[in-house]
Structure 1
Amino acid sequence: MSTDTELQQWRDQALRLEQQLNRTVIGQQAPVRQLIIAVFARGHVMLEGQVGVGKTTLLRAVAQGLGGYYQRIEGTIDLMPADLIYYTYLNGEGRPCVDPGPLLKQGEQLAIFFFNEINRARPQVHSLLLRVMAERSVGAFNREYRMPHVQVFADRNRVEREETFELPAAARDRFMMEIGIDAPCEDAVMDALIFDPKFHDVDALVAGVESTGVPYYQLNDIGAAIQQAVKSSPTLHRYALDLWKACSRPGDFGIRLSDVEMNQFIQAGASPRGMSYFLRAAKVRAWLQGRDMLLPEDMQAVFQVTMGHRIFLNPVYGYRKEELMPELVKGILGNIAAP
């Protein structure tokens, strides 16, 4: 059982990591906080954003701060499941050799696995990744390889749609969060990114991230301790249930959207697993705020990133998803009274 002192020490170290990430990838305070929440809630993350906005740099910095190993693979149309597990080549003597692929190379020391442009990979590859995310293990060479500390991050190309495969609902539901990372718009931040030489050398920038004292191999235990320490109340339970119901039947809660038939709007709402992720993230947010009691504001702060991608619209409204989903989330949080 972790003590209050230990939880406070871990919180101080988590906030220190957050500060370092904000110095490494500037102008992204909200995504960085969401990423920190996901790390300590032990959930996988989908990153959404344009190219070159710092997604890879951010993940490398997280791995540097936690001290674990980092692996990355590029999604391509010809990528096969075996490419994640091993690769073959001819050695200097012309003999065929087999070496571990990115999932197996570091074994149980793998902390962060980044799948870049996951929607360019085939569904067969998605299936393998689903097992890794769900079980933190993979079968290869007639044995089972465990990755107990791995956290999967992926990003989806939302600009180019050629030769891409939409992720199935089961795959998206495995991600605790979908975090949007856009190019900063503040003049001071843009000026620094253009003219400050330190942001031009990514390797040196990441190497400057110091260890925070939160080792990757303790994160599972720390995450469990946070969930035990942060308490909720019966009124918050009712609030969470109403939020969940509104994800499937928003019309029952007085939510109306322009030019939308509310009784035909939602194809499927959030899953029980999704609600579990939602509450886990909310508790970590409360812990980062220095509290041992969950508040409605914690749940509201993580609702969009944990629930938005779990609400599936009727195909008739699919083309308006980017417009309607924020309105729906706003309507749910605005129409359901917080205790």
Structure 2
Amino acid sequence: MEHLLGYMEKELIGQRQNIRLLVAALLAGGHVLLEGVPGIGKTKMVRTLSHLIGGESKRVQFTPDMMPSDIIGHVVFNMQLNHFETIKGPIFANLLLADEINRTAPKTQAALLEAMEEHQVTIQGVTYPLPEPFFVVATQNPVEYEGTYILPEAQLDRFLFKLNMQYPSYDHEKQILKQHLVQAERLGALPLPIYSMEDILIERQKLNDVVVDDSLVDYITTLIRKTRETTRLQLGASSRAGIAVLQASKAWALLDNRMYVTPDDVKTVARPALRHRLILSPQVELEGGTSDQIIDETLAAIPVPR
């Protein structure tokens, strides 16, 4: 796992935290929403991971005219064989890169709901299981950009993490430009898979052995309930959000070669696990407040278990 993380950090300079959170989500069995302006490496991050973990990976470029059947599949009549035939869509993959998911209409976005939650799809009344592991990474441009559709709350809630990718620092940007100068020398050289799908499933089984103390369960429960009590939020975190924080904390501990969860693990995953599940009050939005600020303030107000 350290080898995988090290390779990704070398390829994607300045994105160490987001890379580790992306891999933690894979271990936890959740899905990830990547948000950031165009050209900062969202798609490259996912494609690099797909090469390293093997399995079947597919990419869907979402457009305004895309239909649900373009993703999940459809039934056609085969005139040669004289029977109906099911054509499975690109969703039948271990890793699905849903590129610019907020550029397609809500009807098509909703086609992913059943797949992300139940790992199955229904085509013309027939249910088909998806490959395991099944991991969706969706990218989106910031919602204020032209030609985007806001993802509905039900869709956002299916993502374990929402990761915000920012512009790199001066030093990191300089490294990226230097890296580009030598990129031509290894053009077309894709990394060999480090993990197989079976390896990922074995790593996921280890999560069952990660110990979570009762005091940390209380800590997470208090955090979730506090978000429902503040007047600064129209909508607080759900029970599913609490499960997301718990599962993500265990995955983060496993990435750190520990079989027990600490309060710092909870603090690390709280932002990406909750920021897309909270709806700010109009007053907070007018003042320029963010979900991250409220999460940080809520964590600061809760006694840390010892």
- Within 5 A, what are the aligned runs for 1:90-109? 100-104=88-92
2:221 is matched with which residue? 241
**Matching residue's letter, 1:219:** I
Structure 2 counterpart of 1:123, from 106, 123, 131: 106
How many angstroms does 1:37 deviate by?
0.7
SS of the counterpart of 2:276?
A: helix
* Structure 2 residue 236 is matched with structure 1 residue 269: yes
Q: Distance in 2 between matches of 1:86 and 1:238?
A: 44
Higher mean C-alpha displacement, 175-184 vs 137-146: 137-146
- Within 5 A, what are the aligned runs for 1:220-235? 220-226=201-207, 228-235=208-215
Q: Distance in 2 between matches of 1:98 and 1:236?
A: 48
Q: Distance in 2 between matches of 1:179 and 1:311?
A: 14
* Structure 2 residue 298 is matched with structure 1 residue 337: no
SS of the counterpart of 1:22?
A: helix
**Matching residue's letter, 2:249:** A
Q: Say if 1:57 and 1:202, in contact at 8 Å, map to a contact too.
A: no
**Matching residue's letter, 2:196:** P
Describe the shift of the 1:159–1:280 C-alpha distance in structure 2 as closer, same or farther (beyond 3 A). closer
1:210 is matched with which residue? 192
SS of the counterpart of 2:147?
A: coil
Structure 2 counterpart of 1:45, from 27, 32, 50: 32
TM-score with structure 1 setting the length: 0.80
Describe the shift of the 1:69–1:320 C-alpha distance in structure 2 as closer, same or farther (beyond 3 A). farther
Q: Say if 1:117 and 1:155, in contact at 8 Å, map to a contact too.
A: yes
Q: Percent identity?
A: 28
1:11 is matched with which residue? none
**Matching residue's letter, 1:238:** D
How many angstroms does 1:191 deviate by?
2.1
1:10 is matched with which residue? none
CA displacement, residues 90-135 of structure 1 (integer Å, 9 cap, x when unaligned): xxxxxxx99643224xxxxx22111111111111112111111011
SS of the counterpart of 2:164?
A: strand
Aligned-CA RMSD value? 2.4
**Matching residue's letter, 1:166:** I
Aligned length, in residue pairs? 295
* Structure 2 residue 177 is matched with structure 1 residue 186: no
2:67 is matched with which residue? 80
How many angstroms does 1:143 deviate by?
3.6
TM-score with structure 2 setting the length: 0.88
**Matching residue's letter, 2:12:** V
**Matching residue's letter, 1:127:** A
Describe the shift of the 1:195–1:337 C-alpha distance in structure 2 as closer, same or farther (beyond 3 A). same
SS of the counterpart of 1:128?
A: helix
Question: Counting helix residues as a fraction of each chain, which structure ranks higher?
Answer: 1
